[in-house]
Amino acid sequence: MRLSDEQQAEIEELRADAHPTRRPVVAGLEDLLYSARPVLDHGFVRVVDYMGDDAAVVQAARVSYGKGTRQVREDRGLIRYLLRHRHTTPFEMCEIKLHVKLPIFVARQWIRHRTANVNEYSARYSVLDGEFYVPAPDHLAAQSTANRQGRGDVLEGEEADRVLRILNDDASRAHANYQAMLNTDADGTPIDPAADGLARELARINLPLSTYTQWYWKTDLHNLMHFLSLRADPHAQYEIRVYADEMMEILRAWVPATAEAFEDFTLGAATFSKGALAVVRRRLAGEAVSQETSGLTPREWRELEAVLGGE
């Protein structure tokens, strides 16, 4: 990730500008406020603003004027109860706004979560930097033979080198042509002062999906956890999962009691279908159950065996 001197100075100025407030603040998240957390080769996530904390979830659930006389452990118990029984509305009372820099192909996955307010950097109005995502060698993998949307073995040797050359060369050439169509060099200076450049909204169309974009992304706590339940999962694509991993650290700093319950009851948990639960009960009763006698499809059986630690 590259931050210009101007961007770093702006961040330091924002972090130094403190304001007294009657709003609840979270010390752990205040320490992270505005700081860019590096992700991938040029990306980042940074907290711009937030509203609420664990106590706000409890307050909304009890519809109370404040914390009352209950102890922290009772608040923790209520939060765990709410998450365990899927009472989601109190978590919608907390919100967070993130500034994210990410490759366009990751943004296309991310935007499928339609429960946030999003404002993206406009390539019609501004010129895109020449920054592209190129996978690290240990993430350069072949297509999985078992999963249509997954990866298989890591490429090595000349094959890996060839793919990296293609990715770097194509991205560099596309951006050079982008600048040529705009009639500007890397500093924005016109290449030919007598010529008109192509409109920015047209010049951008030839850029690859590896190009980095940026957006402000604001969501509530309930929908943030839904996003993380899918994108912090080991089966999620690596390039979006690493963003989710950074956001998990932000969640822990922001609402530690909620984050603990989320990891216990959602992220690290498993759900069973009616048929799968029947198989578990039969096994607990001492019955030997096979896929053929389970009533489950072969895929459902494999998934159940994976959850239970079978082969």
Known catalytic residues are 231
**Residue 39, SS3?**
strand
Helix (H) or strand (E) holding 97: strand 95-103
Helix (H) or strand (E) holding 280: helix 274-284
End-to-end Cα separation, the chain, in angstroms? 41
User: Partners of 216 in the beta sheet?
Assistant: 99, 119
Backbone phi, psi, residue 287, to 5°? -85, 140
- Spatial separation of the C-alpha atoms in residues 251 and 262, rounded to whole Å: 10
Rounded to the nearest 5 degrees, what angle is found at the Cα of 272, between the Cα atoms of 267 and 277?
Answer: 145
* Alpha-carbon separation of residue 186 from 122, 166, 201, 225 (angstroms): 18, 22, 18, 40
- Spatial separation of the C-alpha atoms in residues 104 and 253, rounded to whole Å: 28
Helix (H) or strand (E) holding 8: helix 5-16
- Spatial separation of the C-alpha atoms in residues 256 and 214, rounded to whole Å: 28
Give the other-Cβ count within 10 Å of 55's Cβ.
20
